[in-house]
Structure 1
Amino acid sequence: MALKCGIVGMPNVGKSTIFNALTSANISAENYPFCTIDPHLGIVEVPDAQLYKIADVINPEKITPTTVTFTDIAGLVKGASKGEGLGNKFLSHIKEVDAILHVVRCFEDKDITHVEGRIDPVNDAYIIETELLLSDIEILEKRLLKTEKRFKSNHTETKKEYELLKRLLDHCNNGLPAKTFSFFPTEKELIKSLNLLTLKPMLYIANLEEESIINDTNNKIVSDLNEFVKKKKEEVIFLCGKIEEEISSLEIDEKHIFLKEYNLIEPGLFKLINKTYKLLQLSNFYTCGPKEVRSWTIPKNSTAVKAAGTIHTDFQRGFIKAEIYHSSDLIRLGSEQAVRKAGLVKLEGKDYLVKNGDCIYFRFNI
């Protein structure tokens, strides 16, 4: 599956700087609102040490990691849901992503203006989330009106839809995001079809100043943000966009030296990608052969037949069996032959639940 994440936030909070660091795209990051008008797309390889350990054993001609697509969406402002600051256009871009990465500014810089005139990441987060919620409320009101007309025309099949939309609209009108709405399993597909913005999983990115990274210190702004995120039962990662952008421009050897100077184990952006995987409840499996070792992304607890469909629909339609062993056994024993000799290759059917790190060979017939 192709994973797509949208980077959102107020203008001048460092979204484009973080996007540049992720993608090494070097797009404009000027000091004025709406510097980013059209969303910028960047495809990034997912850090995967296991993939390269497998490749060391198999020695394939080609190594193909899985990827994430990042979208740098222009800064949203108060009133975006009503079209302020080209808001309707920007909100429509968010509909296309799987997860929202919400950048909030936690750094002071007199040379970079803030549209609200002060540094307050909690207030910024509230503004953005209010606009997302107002956009959802508008969608629900329009859908409810259409459903109500059919319902009044004795279209009894719309009764359940009408009642669900009414419950969900009441929930959102109470200031609550769609993701906290309780629904029955039979209602899941209808809710999903609405493509509501507040239904999407969100990860906060606190963009800190360099000093906070160097000295590993937190100030009241950061503490307040932490408390805000905890109350929402969400997650936040802390990084410095400027540092990450500089790291991304270095050669591998230079990166290690730079990270050591800042007492960092890995680039913050590695954590960002891994947290996003966790947020979306994703896992990886591998296909291994002399021509290619490749990583594939699937939702956790996917069946073998669904994993087959990730590669090609023919694999899914003609699925017979799947030969499976775990990558950790391959790395430990040093060859696929040794894994087979140890009796660790299993033949599984279509309902097998794929584990993170499985190596799979699909048998199919069309």
Structure 2
Amino acid sequence: MALQVGLVGLPNVGKSTLFNAVSQAGAEAANFPFCTIDPNVGVVAVPDERLTRLAELAASKKVVPTAIEFVDIAGLVAGASKGEGLGNQFLAHIREVDAICNVVRCFDDDDIVHVSGSVDPARDVEIITTELVLADLATVEKRLDRANRTARTGDKDAIRERDVIEALRDHLGDGRVARTFPGELPPAVARELSLLTAKPVLYAANVAEDDLGQGGEARGNPYVEVVRKLAEEEGAEVVVISAQVESELAELAGDERQEYLDDLGLDRSGLERLIDRAYQLLGLLTYFTAGPQEARAWTVPSGSTAPRAAREIHTDFERGFIKAEVIAYDDYDRLGSEAAARDAGRLRIEGKEYVVADGDVIHFRFNV
């Protein structure tokens, strides 16, 4: 499955700089709003040391990591839901993503103009959230008009649908996001609405290099603490990241890259932490296939059965599923090969009800 995360934020918060760093796709980064009018999509390989190890053990000719797509959406401003700054175009792009990453400026720099004149994470988050809520409210009100007409027929299902959409309208009207709506929309209606504030959100607190600190958590940065508090209140995730550091890391490889991380007191890059949090946020896991021709990582929702996981390779694998031969990654790593795992009794035969675990190495048997 293609995981897509939309990067949103006010102009000049470091969003496009971050995008350039993680994707090396070359989106323009300039010191003025709306420098990125069309969404830019960067496909980034998901780092996973387990895949590298499996390829080594299986002597695979080819290694194919799973990937995540970052969509750089031009900076929003107050009034975006009403079209300010071409906001409606940008909001439409957000509807297509699986999750939203709100990049929040948490550094001072007199040379980089803030669109609101000062650095204030709480205000910035409120502006973005308000614009998304207002856009959703307009969508729901339009859908409610149709629901009201249908409910006049007296059909009980239509009346229930009208009532829940009306309750959602009131919820959004109070400035609250759709994620916290206590009611339950019919699945077809939820898909039709595709509400922006129903999408999972994580915050990327963009700090200066000097503020990262050991471990990259920027403890003591008052701006970051504000973002953490806001995220805690709504049950969201926070990743501290320095777009500038990520830009420099993107130009390094191998030992140079690791030395730079060591000098900063980091065990992993901000991008890797961001990807991890995105996977957690969306409830995703990775399984592997490995053999002489190819070692490959696959992404599926947590709780996926073996046939559902097989679908990621090809729909025929799901349709004609017979069984799955499964080895836990730790067993494969420890024993050194599929044959050794089989001999040690660590290769399991699983059926249609098997729920795939993160790190499973699977060979599917199917017939169509």
TM-score bracket, normalised by the shorter chain, equals: over 0.9
Is residue 112 of structure 2 the alignment partner of residue 112 of structure 1? yes
8 Å CA contact retained: 2:15, 2:72: yes
Contact residue 24 and residue 249 of structure 1 kept, 8 A = no
Which of 220, 223, 232 is the equivalent residue of 1:221? 223
Q: What are the Cα deviations for residues 207-254 of structure 1, in whole angstroms up to 9, with x where unaligned?
A: 111221257552322222222222222111111111111111112221
Task: Tell me if structure 1 keeps the 8 A contact 2:107–2:206.
Answer: yes
Amino acid at match of 1:47: P
What is the alpha-carbon root mean square deviation over aligned residues?
1.5
Name the CA distance, whole Å, in 1 between partners of 2:330 and 2:221: 42
Q: Secondary structure at the match of 1:133?
A: helix
Counterpart of 1:100 in structure 2 is 100
Contact 2:107 2:223 in 1 (8 A): no
Residue 303 of structure 1 contacts residue 352 of structure 1 at CA under 8 Å; is this kept in 2? yes
Deviation at 1:36, TM superposition (A): 0.6
The alpha-carbon deviation at position 127 of structure 1 amounts to 0.4
The answer on 1:365 being equivalent to 2:367 is yes
Contact 1:28–1:36 (8 Å) recurs in 2? yes
Aligned to 2:68: 68
Give 1:301 shift. Answer: 0.7
1:86 matched to 2:93: no
Q: Kindly provide the CA deviation profile for residues 278-328 of structure 1, in whole angstroms up to 9, marking residues without a partner as x.
A: 110100111122111110000001011111111111111111111111111
SS at match of 2:323: strand
Question: How far off is 1:157 after superposition?
Answer: 3.9
Of the three residues 299, 302, 310, the one matched with 1:300 is 302
Partner Cα distance (1:50, 1:189) in 2: 39
The one-letter code matched in structure 2 to 1:107 is F
Q: Partner of 2:339: helix, strand, or coil?
A: helix
Match of 1:262 among 261, 264, 267: 264
The letter of the residue matching 2:55 is: A
Q: Kindly tell me: are residues 193 and 305 of structure 1, through their superposed partners in 2, closer, same or farther at Cα, counting changes over 3 Å?
A: farther
Paired AA for residue 326 in structure 1: A
- Rounded to whole Å, the distance in 2 between the matches of 1:323 and 1:217 is 46
TM-score in terms of structure 1 length = 0.96
2:333 maps to 331
SS of 1:311's equivalent? coil
Give unmatched runs, 5+ long, in structure 2: none
In the alignment, residue 45 of structure 1 is paired with which amino acid? A
Secondary structure at the residue paired with 1:296? strand
Q: Does residue 205 of structure 1 match 2:204? A: yes
Deviates more, 1:189-198 or 1:3-12: 189-198
1:1-366 paired onto structure 2 within 5 Å: 1-184=1-184, 187-214=186-213, 216-366=218-368
Residue deviations 1:134-179, cap 9 Å, x none?
1111111000101111221345442222122112222222222111
Query: Which whole-Å deviations, capped at 9, do the CAs of 1:170-193 have from their partners, x for residues lacking one?
Result: 222222211112245x83453244
Give the letter for the 1:212 counterpart. D
- Aligned amino acid, residue 227 of structure 1: K
Contact conserved, 2:64 with 2:297, CA < 8 A, in 1? yes
